[in-house]
Structure 1
Amino acid sequence: MGGSLTVPEAINANGLIVGVAQNSSGLWQAVSWQANSTIPISLGDGSVFSQALGVNNNGIVVGSSNGNAAFWQPGSTTPNYLTTSGNGLAYDINSIGQMVGMDNGNAVLWLPGSTTPITLAGDAGATGINDNGQIVGNVFSPTRGALLQPNSAPPFTIQTLTGGVSEANAINNNGQIVGYFGNSATLWQSGSLTPISLGDGIARSINNNGEIVGTIYGGSRYYAALWESNSTIPVTLSSLVTIPNSYLVDAFGINDSGQIVALSGSGQAYLLTPVSSVPIPASIWLFASALVGFIGFNRRKNIRQ
């Protein structure tokens, strides 16, 4: 895009990746990468800040443009605006087309075909939604992860996941939630408010097989990590691949095929694809990697308009 920095944010079941990239003017632009391509496609017009944060399996992309929550239809580079407040953001979209995010400091839901935000909670943000309509997000002051069950009439009842500082980042179709609690990457099993510690770090994404990715802290560094289904033991991705003169520090998304988008310590983004689709022990799990772009940007949960 003409700039030096790029961030991949999410990947869908078909290998479509979305994120943000700096253009030659230093302005952040929403971008996408088609499956098996390392060339970013601009979804912005180059004159306003935009970002792509989520994508569903139908190829609909969500994020923001010019300060407003927006979505892009498959194959289109023209944003469709969901808000006009100048302080909106769409984080995630499910296969049904339900979208969640923030508008003027409120957690909101957009139903398919509608640009009218439904307020879920004040002083909060919605970060993830599964195909069953279950929503996760965070209430602020202090930040606490929360679950909102579907089929509730507004105002929605918020079920906080912990009594302390926590964050819910994603939910899969089985109702499993990942995020962090205190200093630990955390998993909440479906129907349970009991946090399961995954180690010192943050869990970013979980697929429908229960595989989790994120980052863990070890020694004086953060390492991109994979947790296999039903395991609380992290496997560092750098132990599974060779990164020239660097290592992987964070992983942002994983799809049901096990493809992962991750970040190296030298500022490069990688797409990791399992060599085999047959489940094998983590100690011999191998990945093929492909360079996507150069990275140097904070995670989206820290982005504020």
Structure 2
Amino acid sequence: MRLSKLAMVGVVTLSVNQLAYADAVEIDAMSLLNQYNLITSGNVISTSEIDGNALIGGNVNGGMYNMHSTSNAAVPSLTVGGDLKGNVQTKGKGLNIGGDVSGSLTINDGGDAYINSVSGTVRNLANGNGSTSVVGNVSGTVETNGGNTIFGGTNTGTVKANGSGTVINQPVSVPFDPAAAAANAVNTLGQFSNQLAGTDFNSNYTITGGKVTFNATPNTDGLAVFNINDGESFFNSVNEFAFNIGSATSILFNVFDDALSEYDISVNFLANSAVDLADILLWNFTDADSLHITSQFGGSILALGTDVVTHGNIEGTLAAKTLNQNAEIHSQPSGFVPPSAVPVPAAAFLFAPALLGFLGLRRKANTVKAAA
């Protein structure tokens, strides 16, 4: 049995101050998928936008985040474990950058921004609702309109606080460690993915030419489960999805492969189902090395060990290893209800002192399908 790609997540230790955005409370996997529109353990390169909040474990190069202010303000609009470069914009309130900002960052809707250091340009349009705090040194430009600018290190650049704000040089404590927060979220979702992969399937699909028809036969809880074996071959051979959902209120797709796999996904979700069914669809890619999505894709995606490239919009939350984003990710708050037999893993305390790795197990069952 092959281990999940997330099985090698190691121990992360952090020191945490009292949270500014929310108390340190338990948060489960489904809450993470609803609080965030994007979660990655690694880097993000973006030329497009994300509707909701983003939690990124690595570096960020470009992109626009929480552009429709759709998500819970209890977490920042953008949380980045590493560095930020390129041109980046946020609209939702709040930001936490664990590394250096060497690019150009514009915070349009204010909120409290925490940044480790600035060698580029940061402009926070706080308008009386927020401040900008730099833990270390400023060698670039930090400007807060309508709020305070605080820095804890040395200023060899330009530091401003326009309007009613002031510039303050004093030690800065961040509300939480962003890299550890991302690691904990990925750990939690990885466990969730492994547990979902062991759920018995109860629904089947048929293939006619390149059209797949998913025929849901949900259990008494309204959950329909499809298993797709040899996923790479499956997605390479089909081009249309149709859904007979019946009484299903949640639909899970477990996608398996026997070998390391690369997916090129260019599928037309018929009858506007990519949008209309997005809130009840959850795709669990257990083995994919890479996903290349070239057309509109409906439903949230768990692909924790996967490098994802998008040239088509995703309708739902994406959780992945890395992302090269060339199309939008739209917030579709999930109404998916996990199997009652699967304990939804909680991220203990989301910013707790120690985050432990795990070994993932999955059970692969045969998919019944008919080819016409």
User: TM-score with structure 1 length normalisation?
Assistant: 0.27
**Higher relative strand content:** 1
Larger Rg: 2
User: TM-score with structure 2 length normalisation?
Assistant: 0.23
